[in-house]
Amino acid sequence: MADDEIILSELSDDELVQQMHDDLYDGLKEEIEEGTQILLERGWAPYKVLTEALVEGMRIVGEDFRDGILFVPEVLLSANAMKAGMFILRPLLAATGAPKQGKMVIGTVKGDIHDIGKNLVGMMMEGAGFDVIDLGINNAVEKYLDAIEQHQPDIIGMSALLTTTMPYMKVVIDTMKEKGIRDDYVVLVGGAPLNEEFGKAVGADAYCRDAAVAVETAKDFMKRKHNVRIS
């Protein structure tokens, strides 16, 4: 069916949600914005729109990305469409006290300019509904601390691709410890020369080998955080 034949507002709720999954898959930003508005107008709770239409749609995208059916540029387009839906939902979610998807500050550490991997992680996190603040490259510890203070994130992400800069992650984590704020945040680290062991050695909560694992891990930590709050 050609897409111009579909009038979103004429679809039933179920059909519309299905269509939004397809539109996310196809990376159609405006259609996602429209679909999000329609569901809200029909009285859907913002959190229900988020989880059933957007997050579920991106789960499918993530699965096909993992299986090599979708490619990076296509996933970025999907993530961008998701972000547009999130933009509408974010204030409403906050107002209704819905559980937060989570906020992440991410940056490449001091002395390092590699950012292709970090950018991918940032975009995939946004695609999963996270609020992402990207500090760019070459970040000294002060930059992370300032960002923590200003944005109050749930997760700190650090990227390094050089064996000469990856030890700097420990500098950041140690400083957080000194300030007594280390345990208030989840610290994720990544970059090709790192590994699980290194992540542990510098005191990170997790090392993630790629963007998909980063999203899964971040979601996991957010879930645990919510559970802790409830109990």
Partner 1 sequence: MNAPAVEVTETAHRRSGGRLGRKAMRGAPIASFPALIRQIPAYQMVPDEAVELIHQESLLILEEVGCEFRDDEAIALWKAAGADVSETRVRIDRALLMELVSKVPPEFTLNARNPERTVRVGGKNSIFVPMYGAPYVRDLDNNRRYGSLADLNNFHKLAYMAPALHSSSSVICEPMEIAVPKRHLHIIHSALKHSDKPFMGIVTSKERAEDTMAMAGIVFGEEFVRDNPVLVSITNCNSPLVWDATMLDAMKVYARSNQPLILAPFALCGASTSASAVGAVAQVNAEALAGVAFTQLLRPGSPQIYGQFMVTVDMKTGAPMGGTPEAAQMMYLMGALARKYRLPWRTSGFHVGSKLNDAQAGYEANMLMHAAILAGANYIWHSAGWLEAGLTCGYSKFATDCEQLVGWYKYAGGLPFDDFKEAMAAIREVGPQGHFLGTQHTLEHFESAFFMPSIMDFNSFEQWKAEGAKDHDTRGREKARNMLADYEEPKLDEGIAEGLKDLIARREEKLPDTIS
Positions in the binding site for partner 1 (CB under 8 A): 65, 68, 71-73, 111, 113, 116-117, 120, 162-165, 167-168, 171, 192-193, 210-211
* SS3 assignment, position 168: helix
Binder of residue 204, out of ligand B12, partner 1, none (CB less than 5 to 8 A by kind): none
139 near ligand B12, judged by CB under 6 A: no
Measured over the CA atoms of residue 56, residue 58, residue 62 and residue 64, the dihedral's sign is positive
Nearest to 156 by CA among 212, 175, 227: 175
Residue closer to partner 1, measured from CB, 71 or 87 = 71
Task: Using the minimum distance from each CB to ligand B12, give the nearer residue, 79 or 189.
Answer: 189
Q: Which is nearer to partner 1, 168 or 221 (CB)?
A: 168
Counting contacts by CB under 6 A, is residue 159 touching ligand B12? yes
Strands, E, within 26-159: which ranges? 103-108, 131-134, 155-159
**Residue type for position 196:** E
> What kind and span of H or E run contains 190?
strand 186-190
First to last CA, the chain: 49
Q: Are 192 and 162 in contact (CB under 8 A)?
A: no
Whether the CB-CB separation of 185 and 153 falls below 8 Å is answered with yes
Which of partner 1, ligand B12, none does 25 bind, CB closer than 5 to 8 A by kind? none
53, 106, 109, 147: which one contacts ligand B12 (CB under 6 A)? 106
By CB under 6 A, name the one of 35, 129, 191, 199 that touches ligand B12.
Answer: 191
Binding partner selected for residue 188 from partner 1, ligand B12, none, CB under the kind-specific 5 to 8 Å limit: ligand B12
Rounded least distance, CB 78 to ligand B12, Å: 16
The two beta strands, 186-190 and 206-207, are: parallel
Residues that bind ligand B12 (CB under 6 A): 106, 112-118, 120-121, 157-159, 161-164, 188-193, 208, 210-211, 214
